[in-house]
Structure 1
Amino acid sequence: DITTSPTYNRVKDDVWKLLGKLPVGRNFSRAMGHKLAEGMKSMVSSSSNLFEALKIRYFGPIDGHNVAKLVDTLTDLREIPGPKILHIVTVKGKGYALAEKDQTKWHAPGLFDKITGEIQKKKYDLPQPPKYQDVFGHTIIELAEKNKKIFGITPAMPSGCSLKYMMEKMPDRAFDVGIAEQHAVTVSAGMATQGMKVFCNIYSSFMQRAYDQVIHDVAIQKLPVVFCLDRAGLVGDDGPTHHGAYDIAFMRCIPNMIISAPMNEVELRNLMYTAQLDSTTLPFTIRYPRGEGMMPEWKTEMKEIEIGKGRKLKDGKDIAILSLGHPGNFAAAAIRELKNDGLNPAHYDMRFAKPLDEALLHDALQTYEKIVTVEDGCIEGGFGSAILEFM
């Protein structure tokens, strides 16, 4: 490419320096030279360029699948001083025809037969529980049909978080704002100032990008935005960039923020129902994991959950297990196994990391000698830290 070649850029710089040495009119000459160069580019370009208008050198677009060309271009760009943009065009799924044809389906397909393209799903004899994502997607429609103030917002994750169902059924009330988490939070805040109940669905790890907006645009104003943090905890095949390990810690320190986590699909529905009530006037976080829940029969009548109210699932002796969210199911399974070892822990599903159920905590701390906390997040600042702070 002539615009990245060392010779072209050396001549360009020499002309620029020469114009700067003129005894009269050097600034005018440089300005005219720049406009002339831009005019010539515009003649051969399909559109004007924002970056060049900002005095940032723009190169491209080039074929990102031509590795040799890409290496040569990057090598040339190293020698060009100043800020620059390289526009690289690629095709998602390049080289696999099925993936090129349906980029959404093949974004994260799991195991599949590379010859036939058949996605390999496990086969079960009994009905299986739905994904938490689909429970969210169908429940928000159910709520929105009765509450006209409900809207849905997601930043480029309508399929992953299942807001796509609402976007299909209620296109004027559910919006994909693109890969712009900060904008998703701010527009949710703006709608909340006008009395809307906005469910802002963002992957837990991606909410880190919008932390400033959560604090300044939502929490300080005490706006009742509902943050549905998908992919909370470890996410399996989505990989380490998607692990939602920090949301309890970074949300818990924000004033006016409610933080909840459902143990199962019914609890998710009940928390969503609670969050959209007019009596809920503060920011409300609901965190839940990627993938399947626990209950095939999940579509029950929704009920309000008292904010900050947990539940005691089982009495026991000596040990109390305090769990938050979906990991409570693993705790329940462990308790059943511990019977074989002669241990009989009590089990509390705390539901809320903030505010804590202080009455339930007093009951556990006064009754049992040992306290074990179970959560799917970082230790520092997490649910267990909240219990220690209370103690």
Structure 2
Amino acid sequence: MITTDDVAFLRSRLGVKALENASALELKPDTLIGDVAALRARYGERAPALAETVHCRRRAAGRLVDPQHWLLTDEALQQATASVVAAARAAEIARRFPGAVVHDVTCSVGAELVELAAADGIGAVIGSDLDPVRLAMAAHNVDGATLLRADALTPVSTADVLLADPARRRGGSRTFRIEDLSPPLLDVLTTYAGRPLAVKCAPGLDYGTLRARFGFDGQVQITSLDGWVREACLWTELDDGISQRATVLRTSGGAVRTEEVTDRDPDDTRVGPSGRWIVDPDGAIVRAGLVRHWATRHGLWQLDPKIAYLTGDSIPPGERGFAVLEQVPMKEKALRKALADRDCGSLEILVRGVDVDPDQLRKRLRLKGKAPLALVITRIGSRGVAFVCETGVRAD
């Protein structure tokens, strides 16, 4: 376990050089024992901290900006907000509360603080945490923030906006239960009742129960990054009356493309037979319950009113679509024949609304051809159906 003395060493001139030396080692499972022994021979008790820091920096590539200058622990990295997502939230806070003083009451090693401090339109940034090691790391990682050691459930500032990220891991596994967060989610909401607050939660959070049983009446924002749903953010302050919101972030060549869908957008899409393409909406849109809103925006329609698959004659920009070749009854004999007729040798299987194990089905279909295809399995009414499709393509 890294200590505050370790952090002080890592921040020193000798520590910086030691990290450079440690970075030259492989530190892979088959070399770890020897590599750590070499570090221990040279740096004594600091060897584990050096190895963990280098390992975390490598794992943080693509998640944090310039991770080779960060001080991290394994646990802190697992919970750290990706830089692109944190930057989007900082920009959102600046838009909603221009000139605000923002206080991250669970700042950890500073993944959110870095983006808050860099955002235009934010007046000042405060970070606090109970863990002295993480605070010491945040002092290294973040410029321009005031840091305090404090319990998240003990208000210590009069900041205009508060940000919290309760820990979502218990016993080494991720939790989606409201009552398992630390500090408890309901305690955080109660402690800062009446003040603008944003709480980052796991994307699988049961926000329906939070609204129905616990009276949460703010905005739920589901955010994805490059096709992966990353988080649910609870905003106690509504924005233009929006209660449900999906934020889809996609990166390409260093640029970030953002699409926002809300429950105030039109949702008068229709239900009908398949068009040229089948589209599986981004998970943030599905999780936020905004499939019909997104479909209406892009001229798509539903195959079934209760299933998230959409269809249409074009693919929305940045999304992946599957060109429909034929519709087949959800019977293995019919599927096997249809795929054999098209010389199918490899098959991507997508499933919604039907209890099918794609891996087991693929084995039973006994594919022997050469062509790659896709199979979209779903339910229309009470019938299971399958669409044999070309492999997915992504629109520009």
| TM-score with structure 1 setting the length | 0.36
- If each structure's strand is expressed as a fraction of its own residues, which one has the higher value? 2
Which structure has the larger Rg over C-alpha atoms?
1
| TM-score with structure 2 setting the length | 0.36
